[in-house]
Each structure stands twice: as C-alpha cells, then as structure tokens.
A and B are shown apart, each in its own frame.
Chain A
C-alpha cells in the first residue's frame, strides 16, 4: 500500500512538474509578449499596424513611417524640390512650386491632417501647410503624391493650418505674423491697429479640389494654432492667438506682457452662409493655384485674382474672443466636441473650456470686453475646469478613446495624462528631450485609435550616435493602452516634425496605387509603345519621346543634336507592374534625374554645351541587365549639318 502510495505520489509529482514546466513556458511567453522589444518588433516581411505622416519642418516635405516599428517608408516631396524623384525639377512638376512670388522651391511644412468623414479619418488625402510662403498642399493617399498646392494671399506665416473640419468641408490657414492687409509700404512701429491677421477658409470639393472661399480679416494678433469643433461643436473653429500686445520688437519680452491672450471662436458655418448669400467684399489678391493631373502626369499653375474678405464684425454672433492665459500654443478639441483645451505656454495651468458654457455665454451676451469690435467672453464663465500645475510649458493635447487627454510640456520635457472627467493628472512620462507636439493616431478626430502615442522632441542630444553638430529630431513611441504610459522606443525622424497624423494602415493600404495605366496616359509627349518613340526638332528645341522597359531605352542612340539646343527628354515607362520604376539621367544636366513610375511620362531638359558623344543611363536598378540600360547622344557643332537620326537595334 505504502509502495503504491509512493508510486502514485511519484506520478503525481511528475505530472505536476511537467505541467508546471508547461505553465512556466506559457508564463515566459507571456512575459515576452509584454516586453517592450516585442511590442515594437515587426517581423521581416510583416507590415506595421499604423501609418504615421510626419511633417518635415524645414525639409518642406512629409516623411511616412510605420508604427510601432518607426521604420521610415517614404519621403513625400511637397513644398521642396526633391532630386530623388525629380519633383520640382521635371518639367511636369515645376509648376507645383509656382507662387505669386515666382518659383519658390522650398517651404517649412508644419501640420499634416488627414481628411475626415463624420469626424473619422477616411484616408483619402492628407493636407499640410507651408509656413514661410503661405500655402496648403493636398497629397493623395492612393499615390502618395502631392496633387495640389494653393497659395494664400494677404497671409504671412501660415502656422494655424492645415486643420480640417469633420466632413472635410474646409481647411483653415491662420496668419502667424500680423501684416498690413492689403500689403503696403508703412513704418513698422505704426503696426498697432493697422496690421491684420486674416484667417483663410479653403473649401474642399468632392474630388479634393481646393478653393479659397473667403478670408476673415481679424485684428492683427498672431494666430498660432487651430482646431475645428467636433461632433456637437461642429461648425465652429478655435484659434489661439498671441501678441495681443501688438508689439513689433523684442517680441520675446514685449509679446509676453498681457496676462491673457485670446482664443478666437469662429462660427465658420455662419460665415460661409453669409458669403454664399453675397456677403463680404471682393478685394485684390493674386495667388497661385497648382494642380497635378494623374492622366497627363503634368501640373498646371493658374494665377488667380481676387478674394472675398469678411469683416468679422459684420456677421452677427459669429466671432468671439475668449481670454486664455499667456501666449497660448495648442487649442485642442476633445472627441466629443465638448472641451476645448488651451495651452498657455507661459502658464502653469491648463485651461479647459466648455463648449456648452460658451454657447450659453454667447446667448446671454455675457461679454466682459471687446477687442476691435469683437466681443470678449468671460474667462470664468466659459471655463469647464483647470488642470492644476500639471507641468511647465504646456503645448499641445491629443486624446485617447477612453476619455483621457495627453498634453506635452516643453519646459519640463514630459507628457502628462489627465482625465477629461476630473481634470486630475493620472500619469506623467518624461520625454527625451523637450517635446513639441504629440500624436495619437486619430487623436484629433471623433474616433482616436488610442493604442500608441508619439512624442516629437525638439532636442536629441545623446539619444543616438553623434553625427556632428546637426542631429535628426527624435520621436518617442509610448504604449497608452494601459493605465500607465509606457515608453517603448526612440526613432529618428527627418527635418523637424512639428506635428504628425496617424491612421490605421488597413484604411489606406488596400487602395494604394501600384502603377499607372499606360492606356490612360494623356501626356502630350508620351510614347505609349516603342513604335511611338521619336525625336523631333522645332527650331533649337529637340523633343525626344523615349520609352523604357527592362532593360533598354528606345531610342538608345540619337544623332543630330547641336550645341545650344534645348533637349527635352520625355521618358515614358512602359512597364505595367508594381515597383518597376526606371530612372533617367544624362551627363552635365543642370537639373536632377527623373524617376519614372510604370505607365508615367516625365520630362527633363538638357542643354548640351560641348560637342561629343554623351551617355545617358537608367538610375534605378531595374533588372540583371540594368547596367546595360544606357544610350548615347551625339552632339555636333552649332552650325553642323548632322542629320537628326535616332535608332534602336540598327
């Protein structure tokens, strides 16, 4: 009996041990699953869960990264020439960078925003503003190419931009640097009351086309950031302003004198209605509107004249100011549309306004003051609450899907999570270093995804291997799915991301374009088969309609070009498959290469300066025979009689 007992016990122990072993294995993998490394690891060949679109700041572009890996997927050229693809160098894309100041091949891109339907990200387009020469660009999220750029006249420093209303009705552009409106020659120190801060409202058509509908000619403060109302506050737009002092020198001191600046609350629906009914005044303005066509593969720049200017005092109950503590930056609306969070960057508290209270105050004409004829609402009576001393230098707030807000603090270098119900701080996490904006995918919409938070830091210092005095800005990824924020990962970005927009990858990736249909190519110089390849002369202009396919050019030898000619190489890529671009470059070209996508036609100009035989070649490794993908142009003297001739396989 004893023996049997022992035996049974032995078996039981064995079972226990084996089971325990198994259990501890499971526990191990559980522990692994919660490890930070695993949370950001995207296995080879796997896709990221989110797209993140980072503004490039002084690169003028947008960089696309995957989250959670932080892997950079693409740089989309927007406001800057981009030799990698020939954007802004090719004849077709040069018009994209045209402005009323002429060709402006650079800008400072700031705040990307993805189009919305019913307050949710729909993934059709992403918009971004150029701060320096005021512009807004629309980028297709099918092709990831810039399709349209509109210039904003009368504006300066397009910073409070490019934020989108919840059905993509309007996109706004505020003036960060108050300027004379209209521009005129006048003494700078007479700015007070003379300068203006127009807010531009650009309407978006069904097909995405932008139209400068009207400008609201606001007092000359500096309009910094903006956020449209959501859900219940849809129809309103909120802008922060600073320098209500209207100082023009030593701004860091003189623009920080007032205890409070203003949030401008604008009922844009009312004003749009007013304009539709003939309100406002048509004033002089000249601005460029540049549109890229995916059929002709060409951009056209149109210079437009005139804009409707609206005096905010002339539309009843449409524009109000709300006092906000010292020099605010962010002005962010929560997913329900009830709360407007103002971040006075020189204040230690966060002011949270209530949309309902604001409406009541307006109805009761509960005004404490007026500024240039615009009623100022009471601070106390519009306030929902104050987040007390959460940190130093609040800048920007986004939201999760559980009723929490996340605010960045530049001076104390941290992200603070707080409750929209109690206005109490729930958690804080340090950033490395000096965070500007943050981004939660969908975090500025009605429906945040609430899984990750990306902090965009202004200072990098020792976070990566040093690369000389200049460092790429650092982004940090936090897991916000639990009660506490968890720092997962650092990754470098490009330029200076002032803001980013994130979206679940599946909303975009299925409709991502793989190639352009050759049969739909309407470029006037396209050669849609080798039989159409040709070289023609018109005076000193030579037009080469050339084709590419793995791996040859047609034609690949050209003779009869002369010194002093202007040679247009129109390259059509005959491939009809995913990821088979061909490049084209020729010795001594004073431009860049062009990278031609399958089915596309792109043009680069070459002005030969010396006699000789000059090679051209494909710049994108396209097949095992890529190295053989080349050709020659024979250049003869200015007055030679060499006949124009082009061959392939002669």
Chain B
C-alpha cells in the first residue's frame, strides 16, 4: 500500500513536473541550459576545431608534406605588409597570434577568414565568438588575392 502510495506520488509529481515543463516555453528552458554550457567553454582563440572549414570560397587546401620555403617567404612579405598592424607572432595583439594556428584550425578556415572576414563573422560561429573575444574589433579585409592568402598560410606553418 505504501509502495503504491509512493508510486502514485511519484507519478503525480512527474505529471506535475511535466506539466510545469509543458507550461514553460521551449526557448526559455533552452536559455536556462545555455549558461551551464558556456561555463565550460574555452576561449574561441584556444578552441580546437579541425573539421570546420569556415564559410567562403575556399573548400579545400592541399598542404604539402614539407613547407614550400619560397611560398612561405612570399607569405611573410605579404603578412608583414598587410597583417602586422593587428597580428604579432609572439603575442596576442589586436587579434590573435597566428602561431600554431594549424593545430587549432583547418587551412580552409584560415584562408576563408583572411579572404572574407565580414562573411565569416556573420556566418561562422567560431569566427563570431572570436570577434567578441577580441572586443568586437573587426578583422579588416585587406583584399589579398587567393595566392597571397595561400602564401600567408604557408608562412604560418613556419611559425
């Protein structure tokens, strides 16, 4: 009998709970869950995602087994000219350091970020998080050609 009572109570509680759950709008309940997730979030700059190719015209990049030194040298020249106002290899500056970037990002993601940062921060969740991590400072589109962006990527492999 007591067992039955307990069982009934449980059932009623469950019904009540589910009622409560039903009353709540889904959006609100999912909102409530979000902060729990974010607490464990690592900063976007430290997050590793080697599947995400980003959003843009670059869908595949073939990295050679060894670094193409000529291409990397050209990439360094472009990088020094176009990127160093915001990026430094040895420290976090206006934007993140490109050092070790290919351990955290796919080559496609890097090139899409260089070639179309406006679209990336709108459509790629990781790029969007990066923008907020870096105080909303937008990555400037320096209008590099695909070849220049590819060379910069090669240079990043040497850092």
- Is the Cβ of A529 less than 8 Å from the Cβ of B137? no
How far does the Cβ of B158 sit from chain A's closest Cβ, in whole Å? 18
Q: Mark B67-96, 1 if CB is under 8 A from A, else 0.
A: 000000000000011101110000001100
Q: Does B136 contact A (CB under 8 A)?
A: yes
Contacts from A to B (Cβ < 8 Å): 515, 518-519, 528-531, 547, 549-552, 554, 574-577, 580, 623-625, 649
Q: With A552-B94, A649-B93 known to touch, is A574 a contact of B143 (CB < 8 Å)?
A: no
7 A-B pairs (CB sep. < 8 Å): A519-B81, A549-B85, A550-B138, A575-B142, A577-B140, A577-B143, A625-B135
Contact of A550 among B80, B93, B137 (CB under 8 A): B137
Contacts of B143 in A (CB 8 A): 515, 576-577
Tell me the complex Cα distance, A589–B84, Å. Answer: 30
Q: Does B141 contact A (CB under 8 A)?
A: yes
How far does the Cβ of B87 sit from chain A's closest Cβ, in whole Å? 10
Q: A549-B85, A577-B142 are in contact. List 20 more A-B contacts (CB 8 A).
A: A518-B81, A519-B81, A529-B82, A529-B84, A529-B85, A531-B80, A547-B85, A549-B86, A550-B138, A551-B137, A554-B85, A574-B82, A576-B141, A576-B142, A577-B140, A577-B141, A577-B143, A623-B137, A623-B138, A625-B136
Please give me the residue from chain B that is nearest to A649 by CB atom. B93
How far does the Cβ of B127 sit from chain A's closest Cβ, in whole Å? 15
Contact of B80 among A529, A549, A551, A623 (CB under 8 A): A529
- Is the Cβ of B137 less than 8 Å from the Cβ of A574? no
Contacts from B to A (Cβ < 8 Å): 80-82, 84-86, 93-94, 135-138, 140-143
User: Lowest 5 CB-CB distances: which A-B pairs, in order?
Assistant: A624-B136, A549-B85, A576-B142, A577-B141, A576-B143
Please give me the residue from chain A that is nearest to B80 by CB atom. A529
How far does the Cβ of B44 sit from chain A's closest Cβ, in whole Å? 17
Tell me the complex Cα distance, A515–B142, Å. Answer: 11
How far does the Cβ of B152 sit from chain A's closest Cβ, in whole Å? 14
Interface of A is mostly: loop
Contacts of A576 in B (CB 8 A): 82, 140-143
How far does the Cβ of B60 sit from chain A's closest Cβ, in whole Å? 26
How far does the Cβ of B142 sit from chain A's closest Cβ, in whole Å? 4
How far does the Cβ of B144 sit from chain A's closest Cβ, in whole Å? 8
Contacts of B142 in A (CB 8 A): 575-577
- Is the Cβ of A624 less than 8 Å from the Cβ of B140? no
Please give me the residue from chain A that is nearest to B79 by CB atom. A529
Most chain B CB inside 10 Å of its own CB: which residue of A519, A547, A576, A580: A576
Tell me the complex Cα distance, A552–B81, Å. Answer: 16
- Is the Cβ of B81 less than 8 Å from the Cβ of A580? no
Q: With A625-B135, A649-B93 known to touch, is A549 a contact of B140 (CB < 8 Å)?
A: yes
How far does the Cβ of A387 sit from chain B's closest Cβ, in whole Å? 56
- Is the Cβ of A529 less than 8 Å from the Cβ of B81? yes
Contacts of B81 in A (CB 8 A): 518-519, 528-529
Tell me the complex Cα distance, A299–B82, Å. Answer: 27
Q: With A552-B94, A554-B85 known to touch, is A624 a contact of B137 (CB < 8 Å)?
A: yes
How far does the Cβ of A454 sit from chain B's closest Cβ, in whole Å? 37
Contacts of A550 in B (CB 8 A): 137-138, 140
Contacts of A515 in B (CB 8 A): 143
Tell me the complex Cα distance, A515–B84, Å. Answer: 20
Contacts of A519 in B (CB 8 A): 81
Contacts of B141 in A (CB 8 A): 576-577
Please give me the residue from chain A that is nearest to B135 by CB atom. A625
Contacts of B93 in A (CB 8 A): 649
Please give me the residue from chain B that is nearest to A519 by CB atom. B81
Please give me the residue from chain B that is nearest to A575 by CB atom. B140
Tell me the complex Cα distance, A529–B142, Å. Answer: 12
Contacts of A551 in B (CB 8 A): 137
Q: With A528-B81, A530-B84 known to touch, is A580 a contact of B140 (CB < 8 Å)?
A: yes
Tell me the complex Cα distance, A167–B22, Å. Answer: 79
Q: With A552-B94, A625-B135, A649-B93 known to touch, is A530 a contact of B140 (CB < 8 Å)?
A: no
Tell me the complex Cα distance, A623–B85, Å. Answer: 15
Contacts of B80 in A (CB 8 A): 529, 531
Tell me the complex Cα distance, A91–B1, Å. Answer: 98
How far does the Cβ of A581 sit from chain B's closest Cβ, in whole Å? 13
Please give me the residue from chain A that is nearest to B86 by CB atom. A549
Tell me the complex Cα distance, A323–B13, Å. Answer: 109
Contacts of B137 in A (CB 8 A): 550-551, 623-625
Contacts of A518 in B (CB 8 A): 81-82
Tell me the complex Cα distance, A575–B138, Å. Answer: 12
Contacts of A623 in B (CB 8 A): 136-138
Tell me the complex Cα distance, A528–B136, Å. Answer: 25
